[in-house]
């Protein structure tokens, strides 16, 4: 039995949570304030059998890994004149810790 602690950006929290649940995993979401990803993030606890750890990591990665995104930006190039253009930013990202569980109880 393993306990997986996954920290994902808040933007990806809902999709990661629902995809893990859909795949049959029990997910507990901890309210995380601030943290090491630029924006807010969400921490999940997932308890699972040893042989399903990689499935959890795959799901978390698929729905939260770092990716480039084009966002609109703008620059002014004169008094009251302004142009809008897309910039590439990196969003998402996940940090995953897998811990060994010595004892597991469901009461």
Interface contacts to a copy of itself, rule CB under 8 A: 1-3, 5, 7, 17, 21, 26-36, 41, 43, 45, 47, 53, 57, 60-61, 64-66, 93-107
Query: Shortest distance, CB of residue 87 to Ni ion, whole angstroms?
Result: 38
Least distance between a copy of itself and beta carbon 74 (Å): 30
Nearest-angstrom CA–CA distance, 37 and 9: 7
CB of 31 to Ni ion, least distance (A): 28
Between 1 and 87, CB nearer to Ni ion: 1
Q: According to the binding rule CB under 5 A, does residue 1 interact with Ni ion?
A: yes
| Contact status, residue 30 vs residue 13, Cβ threshold 8 Å | no
DSSP-assigned beta bridge partners for residue 46: 4, 27
Burial class of 98 by CB neighbour count within 10 A (0 to 12, 13 to 18, 19+) = middle
């Amino acid at each position: 039995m393993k306990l997986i602690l996954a920290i994902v950006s808040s933007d990806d929290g809902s999709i990661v949570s629902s995809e893990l649940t859909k795949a049959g995993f029990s997910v507990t979401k901890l309210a995380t304030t601030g943290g090491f990803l630029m924006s807010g993030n969400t921490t999940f606890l997932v308890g699972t059998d040893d042989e399903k750890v990689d499935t959890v990591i795959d799901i978390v990665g698929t729905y939260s890994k770092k990716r480039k995104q084009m966002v609109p930006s703008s620059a002014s190039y004169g008094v009251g004149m302004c142009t809008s253009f897309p910039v590439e930013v990196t969003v998402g990202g996940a940090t995953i810790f897998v811990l060994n569980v010595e004892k597991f109880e469901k009461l």
